[in-house]
Chains A and B, each alone.
Chain A
Amino acid sequence: MAEIAASVPAQANALRRDAAGPSGTKPRHVLSRRNIFLYGTLIMVALYYLLPLYVMVVTSLKGMPEIRLGNIFSPPLEITFEPWVKAWSQACTGLNCDGLSRGFWNSVRITVPSVLLSIAIASVNGYALANWRFKGADTFFIILIVGAFIPYQVMIYPIVIILREIGIYGTLTGLVIVHSIFGMPILTLLFRNYFTSMPEELFRAARVDGAGFWGIYLRIMLPMSMPIFVVAIILQVTGIWNDFLFGVVYTRPDTYPMTVQLNNIVNSVQGVKEYNVNMAATILTGLVPLIVYFVSGKLFVRGIAAGAVKG
């Protein structure tokens, strides 16, 4: 009995030492069939998506004679930034011939206050709905969410009348208010879900500590909810910057946002079609959302994962 018992571990040891089986890190095959397929597909899709952007950049750097040759995929023989300068400061829209710069500053003046106002209101909305279960909170929330599903087009004309009656039709103030209102349902939903996912006991502890509605919001909730604020800022900046419909309806030529001006440049029917200027103008207009995505891509994904999907 004792002999057998002693020999079993010895055998196991011998087995472990002698066998030349796998040990240590698993070797990686860089050029495996799986990798080739995976990266091949990804590269193909990326190229497919990037091709139009490539054409735009390339065309915007060519002079008109070169464009007329028709080789849209070929790189520029002679790089010129003339179209970019023209698009920014000389292109004509209607009576104004100061390029997109006017629209850019209009868009900034529309986007910044709209983003700040809508997020400020919606975050407090979401906080109140999530933590202070006031009477009728659920009804209020449902009405707000239904608002997100009503097509904008239905409300355009009534809002024109309302703005006219108040006396702010055609002004930037009017457009800022419109943007803030239309951002409300989705932003409130976003913030409500985020605040709901926070531990309830934290809120209770703050109440026992004597903090009130604003105290808890500003000193406890706000510092904890940076990811969701980043998400909201990105959604609103890109949404409002890219908006065309409200911009064209609620402003006048002097106060047109960049997108409306871009449309007017690109779609003008007089004179020669300056493709290079059009391309440069389009890239300029799309640059702001593009930069926002590049700068905050990681934060955006994290914030979406943290709050928006839950609930």
Chain B
Amino acid sequence: MAAAIANPSVSIQDLSLNFGVMSVLKTLNLDVAEGEFIVLLGPSGCGKSTLLNCIAGLLDISEGRIFIKGKNVTWEEPKDRGIGMVFQSYALYPQMTVEKNLSFGLRVAGVPKDEIAKRIARAAEILQIEPLLQRKPSALSGGQRQRVAIGRALVRDVDVFLFDEPLSNLDAKLRSELRVEIKLLHRRLQNTMIYVTHDQIEAMTLADRIAVMKGGVIQQLDAPQTIYNRPVNRFVAGFLGSPAMNFLKGELEAGDVPVFKADGISVPLGRYAFDGDNGRAARPCIFGIRPEHIALGDAAKAMPFTAESTVEIVDPMGSDTLVWTKLGGQIVSFRVEADKMLSNGDAIRIGFDPARASLFDAQSDSRL
């Protein structure tokens, strides 16, 4: 965990939310630094959107406190929290033009007309939607609609932006385009942004820090690289990364150099960075290695651990190829360049560096 943040832009303290007897969020704590881009990542039903709605004030929480810019906003109305929100379905008012959509919040708040015009002009310039201002939302494409929705948050001149899966309704090409735009927008505005998604690529590319959630609990909150390289438990390890991390069941044998043993293989873990004294005690464990960290052929020989195997299935994916084989009697996949010609049944040599692996306790699933 990162050190405590001195002046958090958003601070969530011991937040719980229950719907009847069902507990959706469980004593959750989260501090977001000024200008930070936080991504809440998790499978559907993990409570990430619910948490965002709590921050926005659209859901009344059961327990805990929420601070935005040092002000306790736990019981404040959404409009008084200094937030702007972008929704998955855009949620543009269909009967209003783009301009009226952008100005609605300002008109409700009674902002003077020339000030409204100024802010709309700025937002339209930033998002390049000036030619669309007089159109109705129904005459816009998906990407344009989402840009207007971002604009609606922009004109409110707020401290914190909340994004609720803003790109999920767009096709793959538009999604990556708008992803870059959101990143540029964040760099330009330097606002605090909290972004909910189930897409790990969005999370990895956009976030300063990712909060991986499951069952209403934040599993790990860290920089994308840390989460990718040192996942705290098996859930985080399996959720991030595509194709997914390989997991091998086996035993940890303690000793001067701890060894991971599975059917027919033993991997020396001298180079693996254990958490504290975890390497001292023998126990059943799970060995995780990402497909991109397994090397083939000559490259494998240079690795601290190598093994002989045969190719089971070859999955060409265009940019690279995924090869399925067996290691220690268990199925393992690894990535090779697309020009490597392999076919089923080929004898191969694979290898990896245990320092890049992740080891989890078989019972608790947490990192060793």
Contacts and interface: CB of A to CB of B under 8 A. Distances in A.
Nearest to B79: A210
B341 interface: no
Contacts of A224: 94-95
B94 A207 contact: no
Interface string B67-89: 00000000001110001110111
A209 interface: yes
A204 interface: yes
B95 A209 contact: no
B91 A207 contact: no
Given A208-B58, A209-B79, A210-B79, A202 B108 contact: no
A9 B273 CA distance: 65
Interface in B151-188: 152, 156
Contacts of B85: 204-205, 208
A227 to B, nearest CB: 13
Contacts of B58: 204, 207-208
B56 interface: yes
Nearest to A211: B108
B152 A209 contact: yes
A145 B332 CA distance: 60
A208 B95 contact: no
A210 B80 CA distance: 8
B91 A205 contact: yes
Contact of A199 (B57, B83, B91, B95): B91
Contact of A209 (B53, B89, B104): B104
A75 interface: no
A55 interface: no
B304 interface: no
Contacts of A219: 104
A204 B88 CA distance: 12
30 contacts: A199-B91, A201-B88, A201-B89, A201-B91, A202-B91, A202-B93, A204-B58, A204-B85, A204-B87, A204-B91, A205-B93, A205-B152, A206-B104, A207-B58, A208-B56, A208-B83, A208-B84, A208-B85, A208-B105, A209-B105, A209-B108, A209-B152, A209-B156, A210-B78, A210-B79, A210-B105, A211-B104, A211-B105, A220-B93, A224-B94
